[in-house]
Structure 1
Amino acid sequence: MNHWNDLLVLILIVSAIYLALSLCFFGLTRYVRKRRISEKYLILINKFRLFYKPTAWLVIIGGFIALDPVTHGFIILLVLGVGYKHLGNYISGLFLRSSPLLAIHTLVKAGKIRGRVNKIGSLGMVLGTDQGEQWVWFNSFDRAGFTLISNQTNEQQRSLYLKSEHSKEKLENLIFDHPILALGKPSNLKSLSAENTYLLHYTLVKGAQQEDLTNYLNDHDIQTNSTEKFNS
């Protein structure tokens, strides 16, 4: 990429693709609701659209840096340094927002916070609590340990912090082979900055209890906690 016109063309291309995805999502939403058929295809398209947005930004930023690697690279590093907190909230929210359980009116429990989702943003959400509306950043929501309870199906999506000397691959085999996790539902194991520490997002099968999973993990030398602060 050698000219600003090339960057403009790149922006127009990724914008056109995002617009096409949005129109496809809108049309499929109306079709699914009108025909009253399974929403699994709608969920897949919504996830693709959600993760396409940051990917498109990375492509555009890459094109911007290519115009002048030294100067533009320094500008991007400066912007990232200033907006580090907001970037962390955005990244933490990607997985949560991709979950079909996170929707308006979903019941949320996170630490001392309990309420229903009134609004979902890119960096956090507005909860309706007994004390009124409250803004919660996705990062804070993740660190507090959370439970999402669907207003329609009563399914529960939860988060759990793990600490173990097992490799991540072995942990995934132990966790995702367990029948307590709902097949086809959002589940993810993420490595954290602290050594041998992970964050697990998972959905339980109906009628299952979290204690069943924590007992199973403890039996395999895996510590569990609702927050990232483990006892020494």
Structure 2
Amino acid sequence: MNNWNDLYALILIVFAIYLFLFLCFFGFTRYLKKRRINKRYLAWINKIRLFYKPVAWLVIIGGFIALDPLTHGLIIVLLAVFGYKQLGNYVSGLFIRSSPMVVTDTLVKAGKIHGRINRIGTLGMVLGTDQGERWVWYNFFDKTGFTLISNQTNVLQRALYLQTELSKEELLDLVFNHPVLALGKPINIKELANKKTFLMHYTLIKGAKHEDFINYLHGHNIMTNSTENFNA
């Protein structure tokens, strides 16, 4: 980046790519729905669209810093410090929203909160509970763990914290070796700041037992917990 015009051109290019992808996603999604093709492909399309936005912002921010690395870099650092909590909510939301089960009317259980998803936002979601609508930050789901129950298929998706000496790649290999979870259902594993601690989102198909999977992990010396605090 040599001047502001270069940054403006970069922004236009990023926006043009997003517009092109949006039109492609819209057309392809309608095509898949009409052809009644496996919903797994729709889920992949939504993931690509979901993660393109933060990647595009990172490219633009990188171009902004390149104009004046010292001054602009300091500005971005200060903004990141002040917006740390909101950034954490946004990043957590990316992984949660990437699940095909995170749609309106899905039942959510997290800690003492039970409700159905009414609206899905960038930093959190609105749940309809017995006490009325309630806003829940995505960070809350990371802290408490959660279960998703589809209103249509009765499929369960759970969140589980793991502690292990295995690397993320070794852990993924071990998880995919489980016969129940290796059926094309979404599995996400995120490495946390705490050493050797991971947050895993996985799906239980009809007839699968949560306890069986827990015992499978324990049999491979992997500690499990419903929250990040293993010492509680």
Q: Residue deviations 1:123-170, cap 9 Å, x none?
A: 110000000000111111121110111112111111101112333333
Which stretches of structure 1, 4 residues or longer, exceed 6 Å deviation after superposition? none
1:1-232 superposed matches below 5 A: 1-231=1-231
Aligned partner of residue 201 in structure 2, secondary structure: strand
**TM-score using structure 1 length:** 0.95
* Matches of 2:27 and 2:149, distance apart in 1: 28
Give the deviation of 1:217 after TM superposition. 1.1
* Matches of 2:136 and 2:14, distance apart in 1: 31
Give the deviation of 1:219 after TM superposition. 1.6
Matched residues, number: 232
Question: Given that residues 182 and 205 in structure 1 are in contact (C-alpha distance below 8 angstroms), is that contact kept between their aligned partners in structure 2?
Answer: no
**TM-score using structure 2 length:** 0.95
Aligned partner of residue 165 in structure 1, secondary structure: coil
Q: Residue deviations 1:70-103, cap 9 Å, x none?
A: 1100100011001000000111111111111110
* Matches of 1:144 and 1:136, distance apart in 2: 12
Question: Given that residues 50 and 98 in structure 2 are in contact (C-alpha distance below 8 angstroms), is that contact kept between their aligned partners in structure 1?
Answer: yes
Aligned partner of residue 208 in structure 2, secondary structure: coil
* Matches of 1:95 and 1:28, distance apart in 2: 23
- List gaps (5 residues or longer) in structure 1: none
One-letter amino acid matched to 1:41: Y
* Matches of 1:167 and 1:24, distance apart in 2: 37
One-letter amino acid matched to 2:42: L
* Matches of 2:84 and 2:41, distance apart in 1: 34
Structure 1 residues 39 and 205, CA gap change in structure 2 (3 angstroms): closer
Give the deviation of 1:182 after TM superposition. 4.7
Give the deviation of 1:222 after TM superposition. 1.1
Give the deviation of 1:199 after TM superposition. 0.9
For the aligned residues, what is the CA RMSD?
A: 1.5
Question: Given that residues 176 and 182 in structure 2 are in contact (C-alpha distance below 8 angstroms), is that contact kept between their aligned partners in structure 1?
Answer: no
One-letter amino acid matched to 2:111: G
* Matches of 1:217 and 1:42, distance apart in 2: 31
- Percent of pairs with identical residues: 69
